[in-house]
Amino acid sequence: MGGAGPASGASSDPIITRLANEDKVRWYRKPNLRYLYFLLFPTCMGIELTSGFDSQMINALQIVPSWVSYFGNPQGSLKGIIAAAYSLGAILSLPFIGMVNDKFGRRWSIMGGSFIMVIGALIQGFSVNAGMYVVARLILGFGIPTCIVSASSLIGELAYPKERPVLTSLFNVAYFVGQITAAGICFGTNNITTNMAWKIPSWLQMCPSLLQIAFVLFLPESPRWLVQQDRIEEAYEVLVKYHAEGNRESEFVKAEFAQIQTTITIELEHSKRSWGDLIATAGMRRRMLISCMLGLFTQWSGNTLISYYLGDLLGMIGKNDSVFKQQINVATACWQLVCGVIVAFLVLKFRRRQMYLACTISLLCVYVAWTISMERAIAGNESGNPNNSANIATIFWIFAYSPCYNIGYNALTYTYLVELWPFAERSRGIAFFQLFGRMANFFTTFVNPIGLANASWRYLISYCCFLVFEIGFVYFMFPETFGRTLEELAFLFEDKALADEAVHAVEKVVVHHEEPAVGRVSSGGKVETSEIAQKA
């Protein structure tokens, strides 16, 4: 394939990948690994439940009569800021994410972010005016990025290499479970005539965070973070328990540990563990540019129109019945979940660039067709002669959008980011992606109702134009990361000699049967070693 292709640093010998692929025992036949994966769902996968719940709740509550009357039927900029406040709160928290992750680790970062979101949900339900409601959503947004960055990293860093791509892809699928839950709850409370119709969904938004608070400390900490913190023996024990079912003599775990420790040592030698590292080298700057653009693409591909303003879109084609809107709301959420789950399992079959190109090209085709059908439907509605064919086509393209978006921007987002960034900069790199994603989300959720009100169907043309740019950027700039472990991808854009150094450490274990060094990582990045064998 043309374009960016694989970077040269990725061409070193993938020994750990080969060893993992030689393991034919399925994950569900490994008790410790099975326990780990089941525990990841409420603690890490469940974090995106909150984001999905929020987007659908705001979408659905705008149809609930009691919410509309209580807050004075928000329109224009007020309507936009209510929806966008969640993203604005997230933007405000991003500068602290790297520091919090480095100091407290993945688990306690999730715990802290979850507590903040519980407070935000409580205030949201007790809001007495639109201003208080916006503040509550700012607090909710402030808590979510720390959880997302920590959880997506933790999934990638704990998972067995064979299942890692699927698990990190399923992380985003939980978003749709949250959407369905919120859509169902709002549909059920739609006929309540009191303010409880919107207060109940607002309070229930804290439930995923309560799950994380209850279960996250039952998870092991990331072995890579433990290595960084000089807790080497603990890191090795985590790998032994979950990647070798307690077998301390496992060749795979010894090789994996040697690769992790050597790679992190090399990374720390070249890292100051600051935001400045993201622009320190050409390779880091390219990672930053890709993360920046990916953040924009996940929000500026037209998805926020469906996520936040589906009711307005249906109203523009003459579908004003609130029950019908709620039914479509629930149906789209269920359809997105089906598409998301199916596509998550395709990440083991298709290369990353192929999936991203298929995603962007198909999205452009859908948006062009949707724009045309939307124009015909609105023209018929305004003339007093509804065009039922165009109305049906418009709803069809809204549903057709989901599988196209899921191919790349849902299934691959965190899988690709975890693979793209080396451990030392992973939390900051994903936080940088979050920054641009949240800013893009804030902008579009604020601008969308204004654009639809002033430009009607013509507003969709702006998304068509941006999708053309996305296709070109993906083709020329996205590297291939398929089929490698995180450490094999750590020096994707760097000198191949660095990658070969990590490979050499693995070869010493696999080929020469040397014991991997267990020791303290000094401040200069050197390893003061002892031997695992002495402890075995």
DSSP 44-85: IITHHHHHHHHHHHHHHHTT-HHHHHHTT---HHHHHHHHHH
Token readout for 12 is: 């070193």
- The per-residue pLDDT for 8 is 44
pLDDT at position 536 is 43
Q: What is the pLDDT of residue 4?
A: 62
pLDDT of residue 53: 86
Which residue numbers in the chain have pLDDT < 50? 1-2, 7-10, 521-536
- Grouping H, G, I as helix, E, B as strand and the rest as coil, residue 520 is strand
Q: For residue 445, what pLDDT is reported?
A: 79
Predicted local confidence at residue 3, as pLDDT: 59
Do 365 and 392 meet the contact criterion of CB atoms below 8 Å apart? no
pTM of the model: 0.84
SS3 484: coil
- Helix and strand element counts for the chain (H, E): 23, 2
pLDDT of the residue at 59: 73
The pLDDT, as a whole number, for residue 525 is 45
Q: Are 229 and 104 in contact (CB under 8 A)?
A: no
What is the reported pLDDT for 221? Answer: 97
